[in-house]
Every structure is written in C-alpha cells, then in structure tokens.
Chains A and B, each alone.
Chain A
Amino acid sequence: MSEPLDRPSEDPRLLDPDIEAPAPDGHPRPTLPHALAVFVGGSVGTMARYGVTANVHLMARSFPWTIMTINVTGALLLGVLGGSVFAARPDAVTLRLFLGAGVLGGWTTYSSIIAGLLTLAHLGSWGMATLNLLAALLMPVAAASVGLVVGSALLRNRIAP
C-alpha cells in the first residue's frame, strides 16, 4: 500500500512546539509577530497559573499538588495539540508558538518545582521531597504520552481540525 502523495515525507510531529520552521539555511529565525504571539500567550498562561497559585505558598512542607496539577494538565494538553492540531497544520507556526511556547509554556513551570524541592530538603522532609521528585519526573511525561496518543487518535478520526 503506497503513501498518499500529499503526505509530507517528514513526520510533522517532529516539529518542536517551541520552534518555528527552519529558514532556507536550516536555522529558524525569530520574528516580531512570533515573539509577540509568545509574549501574549505567555502572559495568558502566567495569568491563569498565578490565578490558581496566588494564595498557595509555593515553599511549603506539603506535597505541591497545585504546581503538579498545572504541569500535568499543561503536558497533557501539549500532547493532545502536538498529536492533532500541530501535526495537521505544521504551517500554522504562529498558532503553535502562541499555544505551545506561549500559553502552555507560561502555564507550566519548572523553577517552582525546584524551589519546592529545595524547600522540602531545607525543612528536612526527605520523604516528601523524594515523592515530589518522583512525581515531577514521571507524571508530566506520562501525561504528555497519553495526550499524544489521544491527539493522534483524534487526528486519525478527523475529529480535530
């Protein structure tokens, strides 16, 4: 069975959500519209994250459920988008940068996980620190994998645009 002629030879999902299509010389170039899309998306994602974490003390002895939920939902959504919309429309660079690098990049955070880990270690809560570390290593990847499977299935069934 031969491949349809209109299918690009390269898997479009291999495009980095943070990166635009390469320029003719192979190196992607930043552009003002793309930087603005990332800025606006990043502000929206940060606003949402700050909205749910403003009253949460990021440096606490307890398990950081809020940040973990934020990172897991962000990874899940990026997986779904990467498997469906971004894969179907590899030319929609501005949309990918706005949603992937901007909104979801701003929504999720890595530095807060590290700040939380350092705090738990500082407080001597080694059990909680270990649990937090394992969750931070495994849960976002698991969520992104599930999202990628779901997104790819959506695309195959033409439910996604």
Chain B
Amino acid sequence: MTLALWVIVLGGAGATCRYLGDLGLSTLFGRGLPWGTMTINVVGSGLAGLLVGLTTYQHSAPTVSVALLSGFLGGFTTASTIAFEAARLIEARRTASAVGIIAGTMAAAIAAGILGLAVGSALR
C-alpha cells in the first residue's frame, strides 16, 4: 500500500478513535465542557512530540512517522471542534470558559508535546 493510502486509512482510524474516545470521556467527565476533545488533543500532541523526538527533526522523516503524524494523529486530533465549542461558549456569554478551554488545551498540549519530545529523544 502506498504512503498516501496509509495516511488516508490511518486518518479514518484516528477520527474513529476520537469519536469513541470522546464518547467514553464525555460519559466519564460530563458534557459541561468538551473534556473529551480537549483530552484527545492533548494526548495526540504528546504522541506527536514523541514521534518528532524519535525522528530527530530529520528533513525526510521516515515513512512510518509521516503516516502516523499526518494520518493517525491528524485524524485523531482536531482544531475545528474545540474552536466551535469556544465560539458557542462566547455566544452564550461564557467568555471565561471559552478562554479556559482554548488556553487550557494549548498549555496542556504544549506540555504533553515537550514531555513526548523528551521521552522520544531519550529512547532514540
């Protein structure tokens, strides 16, 4: 199977994992805020950091890394849902919650990415 095909199939698999994970996490944490999507973006960013650490910023990243980064993690994580949730919170005049989910997800995702990067670099 060519790389493009792998990316497409893994993208579908990543999106399906997000759907199932979001359902499970929302059942666990409640649906007051989009905890599921937030957690998935943080976990996906941590895994992206791990892959970047393992491939050491090579200019031609290994095929497996491309398939996992662009395919699985690209399909798994999402920017549109979290932005849409924040927009709806702003519309409902819950600006503090909107700022919280956007800034909180970003801060946690960067921390997870740095952690993943450190682990990946150590494992290399």
B: residues with CB less than 8 A from A are 4, 7-16, 18-20, 22-23, 26-27, 31, 34, 36-37, 41, 44-45, 47-49, 51-52, 57, 59, 61, 69-71, 73-88, 90-91, 98, 102-103, 105-106, 109-110, 112-114, 117
A64 to chain B, nearest CB (A): 12
Please determine whether A102 and B15 come into contact, CB atoms closer than 8 angstroms: yes
Contact between chains at B8 and A101 (CB < 8 Å): no
B108 CB to nearest A CB, Å: 10
Q: How many A-B residue pairs have CB under 8 A?
A: 233
Interface residues of A in 4-35 (CB under 8 A from B): 13-14, 16-20, 27-30, 34-35
A126, CB-defined interface residue at 8 Å: no
**CB atoms of B15 and A141 under 8 A apart:** no
Interface residues of A in 103-157 (CB under 8 A from B): 104-115, 117-119, 122, 133, 136-137, 140-141, 143-145, 147-148
| Minimum-distance CB pairs A-B, first 5 | A46-B11, A42-B15, A43-B12, A140-B83, A110-B77
Q: How far is the CA of A101 from the CA of B117 in the complex (A)?
A: 28
CA distance A154 to B79 in the complex (A): 24
Residue B31 contacts which of A13, A16, A102, A107 (CB distance < 8 angstroms)?
A16
Bound state CA distance, A119 and B59, in angstroms? 12
Inter-subunit contact A110/B57 (CB<8 Å)? no
Chain A: number of interface residues, binned into ranges: 35 or more
Residues of chain B with a CB closer than 8 A to A27's CB: 27
Given contacts A115-B69, A140-B80, contact A101 B41 (CB under 8 A): no
Q: CB distance A28 to B23 under 8 Å?
A: yes
**A40 on interface, CB distance cutoff 8 Å:** yes
Chain A residue with Cβ nearest B14: A42
Say yes or no: A106 contacts B74, CB within 8 Å: yes
- Inter-chain contacts of A39 with B (CB < 8 A): 12-13, 15-16
Q: Is there a chain B Cβ closer than 8 Å to A90's Cβ? A: no
